[in-house]
Copies of this chain bind each other. A is one copy, B any other.
Amino acid sequence: MALVVQKFGGTSVGNIDRIRRVAERVAKTRDQGNDVVVILSAMAGVTDGLIELAQKAAAEPDKRELDVLLATGEQTTAALLAIILKSMGHKAQSMLGHQAEVVTDSDFGNARILEIGAQRLRQLVAKKTIVVVAGFQGYDIKGNITTLGRGGSDTSAVAVAAALKADVCEIFTDVDGVYTADPNICPKARKLKTITYDEMLNMASLGAKVLQIRSVGFAKKYNIPVHVRSSFNEEEGTMVVNEDSGMEQLVVSSVTLDKKQARVTLTKVPDQPGIAAKIFFPISEEGIVVDMIIQNTRKGGKTDVTFTVPKGDFKRTLEIAKKTAAQVAAEEVLGDTNIAMVSVVGVGMKNHAGVASVMFNTLARENINIIMIGTSEIRISCVIEEKYGELAVRVLHTAFGLDAEE
């Protein structure tokens, strides 16, 4: 017998029939003798619909009030699932964010969980009640309703699992686990049985498709095993766990592709202390998220600074960068949206030299030019021409021995 936290996303609760299927799945877990706490998202499309409604009310809806509005989405599904579970004869009860004592900061629309009291939640679980918690929502110390941002229900689930010291946090999604690469790009991609928190954190876009990245940080901090699995079948998915949990020993566990970035370069920037801050401060002030940053050393006290930003922010970033370039006496500002970032990720590369050279050689063999290189402890990313993105994923997948056996 275990304490299982199960999270179901928007498509899994898209209508009453689907919520009924969720209820059956939850009931089955309960009938197997487990204590169950369920976290739900809003029905697919509902949150977007509410945002549209708010924008009809005001071009820039007040953020506090928008959260009050958005919170109704998860309140609706939580109530409906509790209704169905009770009609099936189970002890069940819904809880909203404030009832489950999900305390957050006051950053409306993108609040961070500070703590989960979970006192009543724990009492109900002890009484063998299936508790259905509305995901995505919390409240700040003043009692205002807050929401956690896109995919916030994943974070709700992991945070509740942490507060209750749950044995596992199951994330039910429309994919059946985490793959070595996107199967749409790489037909030989295969499902991973396990992956580490750090690998998930480094998989960026590929990982984010199945799990909100913020929730992974939470899971890592509290060491909560997260089971990413399909809501359509009962197969085992992928366990996201700590490194020492007896995993498959792969040097590289996945190859990812990100085509949503654009590149900006300031050339011949005077190489002085504080110059980077001058370049990036006005960009971050505008809320633009810079991903990769590369600074090349050049001769003559000048340097080139290159970085990537989301394509949607490209034009704005160019404008800002041009102003900065004038201020710091850089030569010019160049930019390119036809780029892709291909990355190999794996905790194994900490102990294996040579991953980078295999990666560079593999790309060179296909005549793919590398525009930028960036690394983290367990990831190597190359920015290449956009058109080569899919090819790069396939050849790297093969080169690192990830291809599924025929």
Chain A interface (Cβ within 8 Å of chain B)?
A: 16, 19-20, 50, 53-54, 56-62, 64-66, 68-69, 71-72, 75-76, 78-80, 82-84, 86-87, 93-94, 96, 98-99, 120, 143, 145
Contact = CB atoms under 8 A, between A and B. Distances in A.
B58 A83 contact: yes
A71 B98 CA distance: 15
Nearest to A142: B120
Contacts of A86: 58, 62, 65
A79 B66 contact: yes
A99 B80 CA distance: 23
24 contacts: A53-B80, A54-B80, A54-B83, A57-B84, A57-B87, A58-B86, A59-B87, A60-B87, A61-B87, A62-B83, A64-B93, A65-B82, A65-B93, A68-B75, A68-B78, A68-B79, A68-B94, A68-B96, A69-B76, A69-B83, A71-B75, A72-B75, A96-B145, A120-B143
A79 B65 contact: yes
A145 B93 CA distance: 12
A102 to B, nearest CB: 14
Contacts of A80: 53-54, 57, 65, 69
A99 B69 contact: no
Give the 6 A-B CB pairs with smallest separation, nearest first: A58-B87, A69-B79, A72-B72, A68-B79, A62-B86, A65-B82
Contacts of A64: 93
Nearest to A99: B143
A345 to B, nearest CB: 41
A57 B80 CA distance: 7
Contacts of A61: 83, 87
Given A20-B57, A68-B82, A71-B75, 13 more contacts: A50-B76, A53-B80, A57-B83, A58-B87, A61-B83, A65-B82, A65-B94, A68-B75, A68-B79, A69-B76, A72-B72, A72-B75, A120-B143
Q: Chain B CB within 10 Å — which of A58, A83, A99 has the most?
A: A83
Given A79-B68, A83-B66, A53 B99 contact: no
